[in-house]
């Protein structure tokens, strides 16, 4: 930590800080500049954070210089991690395609969507049984019945299942069906839920909060990690900005930035960020090109009848192009499509 | 709903929409302009929303024209509501001061803060026993022990208690101690929690999500209302913007806008929006002047030892000015301080 | 400036920085922490900024600790300034009302609007002869003919004139008619224009860029000040955020923050920030309550016929309430309405 | 345009609107829904915009349904355009690389940067002689001396020159040296400048304002087009958001969205959006993959001595990878690198 003193701070103000830091078990190094004095703090930052340093006389600013996350930081774990979901790798060597319906509606719709996903190169099936919806009047998902459908479709297609959990007390139930739990953007700071998925022993896909800085996203991951679960996949899904032409603004820069700060895999959701079918393929290409370790995409056999986010689901006509993208782009960034990895395994 | 057709939409495209709306039980009125055709839809909007109208041939845009919330809307309830918390009114006739420590730390600290609050004119006590913290390494609150302290301090001071609940499954426990439940900004779209507080029969203070539009905030309130609880107080607490000089940007305009759209009372949190002690009083004045029905403020007897948000808590020296503001400003906007209302009751 | 070294920075990396700073004529103080080394730089910051310190081996972060503006900073000029416009003060002792039509349309409309303004307590007249409009097809203002109308109305009403200039090469012309030049939000980083108004010797009202941080706003003011003109009034007019219920989000916190950082007066534009008539009076009250040194408000005798921003102009019915607000609120924040000041002068 | 009436609008309120629209030479079609009445307007939108429709009794909302830009719209010009700069095409068939130093500093630095650019596949040279800088104390560019250096380097390398103009009255001078004029993000709503470059008869690269919606960006282009110049290249360069890990947030979605709304070519600036060298190559790959018609990149022979934005300039070591990206990615999106096009011409 660094304390910047105001221009009119006195010798006594500086001394008071040196003393309080000493009392807190730390060391304070004073650098006197022409117009400002700077005090560098060495010791336990958590200890210092509890002090009202900003409130002390003469203090102009207090700046943190180390990342507040540890377990997910790349500082302490320089090699990038691979997370395995039902045997399927997500990590630096591959570009994994996760696809399926936004919401599980019927067994047939889910199976058809899973087969579409597979045809495009997907090795994991997505599908929501619990849907967090802005309106209480919108379809909220089938709940456990939806989980059973997902499990059946996994059996029929061989695709491991990724599905969302929205309440800490459903974690055990959802984990009993799913291969990977998803924490959605609206729950990115639901700390009770983060701790619950941290304790369940299944991989977790953590979407970035639509208002979360990259640092806050990594702090949310730290909540999961702190409970002993490091099988976390970060998912960039667009942030909220002033632009209204797209539902959210896909922050592709966040992919390399997060990969540099954290050893966790980072994937992208091009369906929910744009919210428009015509953007899904361009954003998928951008995601792979920027270095994402995977993408998660909505597909639907009959989007005009979808109960949730139909307008953004890819349809049959798009699958050939999606398959081509999944095949041609990964090699240009030194990666294999996950499908190949499995095939050759 | 209004559908705007693209410039190259055909007669057949328009006809297809008229038919699908008819099948969905609605009526479609076609207005042909020079360059665009517009179709006005009449009927059950929820029904139409499920259709992939945006995906149909020739459609350029689909616009909603009615608010998606009903129970909290002022359209159906023109008179503004007053919510009573342990007998204390929050509503159009008053400016209620809710004050207390950010986090409950010890019985003595809580009692001292409550007495500070009372001295400044507060009629409700705030204090957190469950603290949602960005870092898993930060103090997370005392839990039920904190609730017991709050209940004791209520007995000693007569101030009803407002406290936060962060997990749906704690709602019953928290409600057994609290007079009003608070849902925080990070849980503003934790729908499981919203539904749980909707069913518990105690007043709820709903903070605006830091990334929520006013409409989404009202939709979150609708989740609570839909479970039968209309004793909801909306709390503006700053939104996330590009400005970093303040923790968040207090959106004072949201107060009159929300009061016009909804019949629910709207209060302001000047402590958490700015995150700086020196802004609390100016923002409190602005909040009352813009028409807020109350303010919620952090006070602390020893902020330099606070375990949470010490730098923004008001201290003893600020109380006289806070009391003056609470006394002098409400009459200028046609309101009474809640304290007087009680005194004269 | 403070340089934070990465966890794997070597002794040699630190030494290299110490040397380059020495070469640049500065001093570097090294503080070694447990996980990080921090280097405090003392000397000419502008010199250091030109170095690619961030690009040097081992560097994790470079942080600035002094404000990049000097002439407008309160550090070097602790007393808050008063700017006089045709004899009317704008500063810490008063709340000045500037009012008039958004755009000058006709002599009669301008005169009527000026009389409305005066009736509400305005001591300065606003009115645009050059209008920056998002659409090239919108009314762009009357140009010099508009300036002549403003000068005539000044003669008839005694109100000094504030008017916008949008091009560096019009500055001389506009200054020959106006008592104060306005630089609009879209030109807040038009540096050629800022320099031109800095050299003309008339007071300048500088609107905050709708995307400008408070620091950037003060840097824009520094451009003007650097040319020898310190008669600058800062005007907060709303920033761009994700909220769409209002045209922009009025950042009331910016008023006390800017007043603390700079000695310049700070006023508020409640008309353009909200963009809605029904918000003008509430936001005016909030602006005065938060401590603004003035407000600038659109009024129009016939807003339904206005050529620009009619929907936000106050009308006759609003004037009595505006006058009341201008009379009752300033004393509560220790200020006089500017009108009284003049009357008693 | 569509007018949405409030729930308590009367028959008379609706009739009043029908009449005022008739007077303005338009037609109004009324659709009565269960809870709302909608009025579709047909006629001259500019005419209607001048009316204070929002201020009329009973009106809840007024919605525009046609784009406010015409000349740059793809509605009226379905085929995407190619702009030629000194013979080099920028358009749907190619991915053009524009590269060079952020600022022109010396003849040698500019020549070396141009040779770096060429080695990486650039067919156009960028370089700033007039630099808009946030701080008045920062290097502001060499002015005309810089333009002369650019012209000399063009002669030596054969690369046509793209350079920024920051003041309407410099347009003629800059155009006498440059092959393409650049309007920067801070001048994206400097309408005097937009009109000036619209009249000069040279291609223009228009950067998106960092706070501009895509629609406002196209309106700015319309200002240029309206003066008779349709040789406009749009350049996405990042928007301002709450994220601080990158200088701005590159909005890759804006590329396909703008290409769909407008026939103009759209390129990307990965250097200024991220502001970090390590992001330039990943963002360049993302830009090409999403479908950009070109990229504009800072290169510098000695970034540690650069007078402007050194930390984001690519260096010698990065050029081989940049060349590979420019060669391998365009074919995957059905495009040729501009270099090949020239070679084969």
Q: What is the pLDDT of residues C259-291, one digit of tens each?
A: 999 999 999 999 999 888 999 999 999 999 999
Q: Does any domain span residue D231? A: yes
Same domain, C57 and C126: no
Q: Is the pLDDT of residue A90 over 50?
A: yes
Residues B43 and B87 in one domain: no
CA closest to A133 among chain B residues: B191
A110 against D313, higher pLDDT: A110
Of the candidate ranges B261-275, C1-15, C153-167, the one whose mean pLDDT is the lowest: C1-15
- What phi-psi label fits residue A112: left (phi over 0), alpha (psi between -120 and 50 degrees) or beta? alpha
Task: Write out the H or E segment, with its range, that includes residue A45.
Answer: helix A45-50
Cβ–Cβ gap A40/C38 under 8 Å: yes
D290 shares contact with chain A (CB less than 8 Å) = yes
Q: What is the CA A165 to chain-centroid distance, rounded? A: 14
**pLDDT of C14 above 70:** yes
Chain D residue with CA closest to B42: the answer is D33
Residue C252: the pLDDT is 98
Cβ–Cβ < 8 Å for D154, D161: yes
Residues A169 and D322: their CA atoms lie apart, in Å, by: 50
**What is the pLDDT at residue C138?**
79
* Residues C24 and C93 grouped into a single domain: no
Which ranges of chain B does DSSP label H, i.e. alpha helix? 11-23, 45-50, 107-119, 144-157, 171-177, 191-198, 214-226, 254-261, 270-274, 277-290, 316-328, 338-344
The Cα–Cα gap between D277 and D265 comes to 26
pLDDT in tens, B136-158: 887 889 999 999 999 999 999 99
Per-residue pLDDT at A262 exceeds 80:
yes
Which residues neighbour C330 within 8 Å (Cβ) at sequence distance 6 or greater?
C94, C95, C288, C336, C337
pLDDT band at B304 (very low <50, low <70, confident <90, very high): confident
**CB of D234 within 8 A of CB of D261?**
no
In angstroms, the CA D53 to CA D293 distance is 41
From D248, which residue of chain C is nearest by alpha-carbon distance?
C211
DSSP string, A141-189: --THHHHHHHHHHHHHH---EEEE--SGGGHHHHHHH-SEEEE-GGGTT
Judge whether residue C231 has pLDDT over 90. yes
Are residue B9 and residue B140 in the same domain, yes or no?
no
pLDDT, position D344 = 36
For residues C106 and C247, state if they share a domain.
Answer: yes
In 3D space, the residue among D171, D180, D184 whose CA is nearest the CA of residue D132 turns out to be: D184
Q: Any idea which residue has 């619950």 for tokens?
A: A196
Q: How far is CA C189 from CA B193, B232, C184, D190, in A?
A: 45, 44, 10, 9
Please list, in sequence order, all residues whose beta carbon lies within 8 angstroms of the beta carbon of residue C340, skipping any fewer than 6 positions away.
none
- HSE-CB of C244 using CA atoms within 13 angstroms: 10
Nearest to C252 among B214, B239, B250 (CB): B250
pLDDT at residue D342, as a whole number = 41
Residue B163: closest CA among B252, B92, B86, B218: B86
Cβ neighbours of C7 in A, within 8 Å: 75
For B169, the token pair is: 């499954």
C173 in the same domain as C59: no
Chain C: residue nearest B327 by CA? C332
State the Cα–Cα distance between residues C257 and B248, nearest whole angstrom.
13
Tell whether C113 and C235 lie within a shared domain: yes
CB-based contact C29 A31, cutoff 8 Å? yes
Give the pLDDT confidence score for residue C50 in this predicted structure: 67
Chain D residue closest in CA terms to B70: D35
Q: Given pLDDT bands bounded at 50, 70 and 90, which one contains residue C339?
A: low
CA distances from A180 to A263, B101, C18 (A): 19, 40, 49
pLDDT at C29 over 90: no
Residue A69, domain member (yes or no):
no
**What is the spatial distance between Cα A330 and Cα D332, in angstroms, rounded to a whole number?**
11
Mean pLDDT of chain B: 90
Q: Is A72 inside a domain boundary?
A: no
The pLDDT of residue A208 is 98
- The C-alpha of C65 sits at a distance from chain A's nearest C-alpha, in angstroms, of 7
Listed by number, the residues of chain A in 94-153 with a beta carbon closer than 8 Å to a beta carbon of chain B are 132-140
User: Do B283 and B213 sit in the same domain of this protein?
Assistant: yes
Any chain A CB within 8 A of the CB of B241?
no
Residue of B nearest to C244 (CA): B213
Strand partners, D204: D181, D232
Contact D98, D303 (CB under 8 A): no
Contact B110, B149 (CB under 8 A): yes
C240: distance to nearest CA of chain B, Å?
Answer: 8
**What residues have CB less than 8 Å from D206, skipping those under 6 apart?**
D183, D188, D194, D217, D220, D221, D224, D232, D233, D234, D235
* Residue numbers in A near D213 (CB within 8 A): 242-245
Q: Any idea of the CA torsion for C181, C186, C192, C193, to the nearest 10 degrees?
A: -10
pLDDT digits (tens, 9 = 90+) for B74-127: 988 999 999 999 999 999 999 999 999 999 999 999 999 999 999 999 999 999
Among B74, B236, B238, B253, pick the best mutation site for testing chain C contact (most C Cβ within 10 A).
B253
How much is the mean pLDDT over chain A? Answer: 90
Chains that touch D (3 or more CB pairs under 8 A): A, B, C
Residue B97 in contact with residue B321, Cβ under 8 Å?
Answer: no
Q: Which residues of chain D, if any, have pLDDT below 50?
A: 341-345
Within 8 A by CB and 6+ apart from C14, the residues are C5, C30, C37, C39, C58
Q: What's the mean pLDDT when you consider all of chain C? A: 90
B 13-32 residues inside an 8 A Cβ radius of C:
none
Chain C residues close to D210, C-beta within 8 Å: 211
Residues of chain B with C-beta less than 8 angstroms from the C-beta of A140: 191
Interface contact D63, partner A, CB < 8 A: no
What distance in Å separates the CA atoms of residue C297 and residue D160, rounded to the nearest whole number?
49
CB-based burial label for B173 (10 Å; 0-12, 13-18, 19+):
middle
The fraction of chain A above a pLDDT of 70, given in percent, is 95
Q: Does residue B76 belong to any structural domain of this protein?
A: no
Task: Look at residue C296 and tell me if it is in a domain.
Answer: yes
Query: Above 80 in pLDDT, residue B308?
Result: no
Work out how many domains chain B is built from and give that number: 2
Kindly indicate the confidence band of residue C338, based on its pLDDT and cuts at 50, 70 and 90.
low
Distance CA B247, CA B275 (A): 5
Residue D315 to residue B310: CA distance in whole angstroms: 47
Please report which confidence band the pLDDT of residue A341 belongs to, taking 50, 70 and 90 as the band edges. very low
Cα separation, A280 vs A273, in Å, equals 9
| Tokens 């605006």 belong to residue | B208
Residues of B in contact with C291 (CB under 8 A): 282, 285
Interface with D, mutate which of B21, B26, B31, B211 (most D CBs under 10 A): B31
pLDDT band at C52 (very low <50, low <70, confident <90, very high): confident
CB C255 within 8 A of CB C92: no
| H-helix segments, D291-344 | 316-328, 338-344
- Give the angle D126-D322-D155 at the CA atoms, nearest 5°: 35
With bands split at pLDDT 50, 70 and 90, how would you rate the model's confidence at B345?
Answer: very low
CA dihedral defined by B47, B52, B54, B56, rounded to 10 degrees? Answer: -120
Evaluate whether residue C73 is within a structural domain.
no
The two tokens of residue C319 are: 């004037």
Strand pairing class (C88-90; C83-85): antiparallel
CA C6 to chain centre: 39
Q: Do both D19 and D146 map to the same domain?
A: no
Sign of torsion, CA A182 A184 A190 A191? Answer: positive
Tell me: pLDDT of C205 over 70.
Answer: yes
pLDDT-based confidence at residue A36 (cuts at 50, 70, 90): confident
What is residue B264's predicted lDDT score, i.e. its pLDDT?
98
Q: What is the CATH number of the domain that holds D28?
A: 3.30.70.1140
Structure tokens at B106: 């010890």
CATH of the domain at B258: 3.20.20.70
Of B137, B222, B304, the CB nearest to A46: B137
Q: In angstroms, rounded to a whole number, what is the distance separating the alpha carbons of residues C266 and C335?
A: 14
How many other C-beta atoms can be found within 10 angstroms of the C-beta atom of residue A244?
11
Q: Which residue has the tokens 């179709």?
A: B39
pLDDT of residue B337: 74
* Domain of residue A9, residue span: 2-63
Q: What separation, in Å, do the N-terminal and C-terminal C-alpha atoms of chain A show?
A: 48
- Examine residue A71 and state whether it is found in any structural domain, yes or no: no
CA pair distance D205, D179, nearest whole angstrom? 11
Residues of chain B with Cβ-Cβ distance to C254 below 8 Å are: 243, 245
C245 at the A interface (CB within 8 A)?
no
Chains that touch C (3 or more CB pairs under 8 A): A, B, D
Going by C-alpha positions, the residue among D95, D120, D86 that lies closest to residue D338 is: D95
Structural Rg of chain C based on CA atoms:
23
Q: Are residues A96 and A17 in the same domain?
A: no
Lowest mean pLDDT among A97-111, A114-128, C135-149: C135-149
Residues B109 and B188 grouped into a single domain: yes
Task: Please name the residue ranges forming H helices in C1-142.
Answer: 11-23, 45-50, 107-119
- Residue C77 placed within a domain: no
Joined tokens for residue D170 = 């410099």
Q: What local confidence, expressed as pLDDT, does residue C48 receive?
A: 77
Q: How many Å apart are CA D345 and CA D330, to the nearest integer?
A: 18
Residue of higher predicted confidence among C49 and A317: A317
pLDDT score at C342: 41
- Name the packing angle between helices A277-290 and A254-261 (round to 10°): 40
Please tell me whether residues D147 and D113 are part of one structural domain.
yes
Cβ(B255)–Cβ(B100) below 8 Å: no
Please count the other Cβ atoms lying within 10 Å of the Cβ belonging to residue B8: 11
Does the pLDDT at position A317 exceed 90?
Answer: no
What chain B residue is nearest to D248 in terms of C-alpha separation?
A: B242
CB D292 within 8 A of CB D285: no
Q: So what's the pLDDT on residue A245?
A: 92
pLDDT band with cut points at 50, 70 and 90 for residue C314: very high
């Amino acid at each position: 930590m660094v304390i910047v003193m105001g221009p009119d701070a006195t010798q006594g103000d500086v001394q008071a800080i040196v003393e309080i830091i000493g009392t807190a078990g730390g060391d304070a190094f004073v650098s006197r500049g022409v117009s400002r004095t700077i005090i560098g703090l060495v010791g336990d930052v958590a200890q210092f954070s509890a002090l009202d340093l900003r409130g002390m006389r003469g203090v102009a600013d207090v700046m943190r210089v180390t990342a507040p996350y540890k377990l997910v930081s790349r500082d302490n774990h320089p090699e990038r991690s691979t997370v395995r979901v039902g045997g399927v790798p997500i990590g630096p060597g591959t570009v994994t395609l996760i696809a399926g319906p936004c919401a599980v509606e019927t067994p047939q719709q889910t199976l058809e969507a899973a087969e579409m996903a597979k045809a495009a190169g997907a090795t994991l099936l997505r599908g929501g049984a619990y849907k967090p919806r802005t309106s209480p009047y919108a379809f909220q998902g089938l709940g456990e019945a939806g989980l059973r459908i997902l499990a059946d479709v996994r059996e029929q297609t061989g695709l491991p299942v990724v599905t969302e959990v929205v309440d800490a007390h459903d974690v055990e139930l959802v984990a009993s069906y799913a291969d990977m739990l998803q924490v959605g953007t609206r729950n990115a700071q639901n700390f009770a839920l983060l701790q619950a998925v941290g304790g369940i022993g299944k991989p977790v896909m953590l979407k970035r909060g639509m208002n979360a800085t990259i640092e806050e996203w990594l702090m949310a991951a730290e909540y999961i990690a702190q409970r002993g679960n490091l099988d976390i996949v970060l998912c960039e899904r667009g942030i909220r900005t002033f632009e209204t032409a797209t539902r959210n603004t896909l922050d592709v820069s966040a992919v390399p930035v997060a990969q540099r700060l954290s050893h966790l895999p980072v994937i992208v959701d091009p369906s929910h960020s744009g919210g428009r079918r015509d953007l899904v393929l361009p954003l998928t290409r951008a995601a792979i090109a920027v270095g994402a370790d995977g993408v998660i995409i909505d597909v639907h056999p009959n989007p005009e009848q979808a109960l949730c986010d139909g307008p953004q689901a890819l349809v049959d006509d798009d699958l050939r192009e999606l398959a081509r993208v999944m095949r041609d782009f990964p090699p240009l960034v030194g990666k294999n499509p996950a499908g190949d990895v499995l095939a050759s395994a």
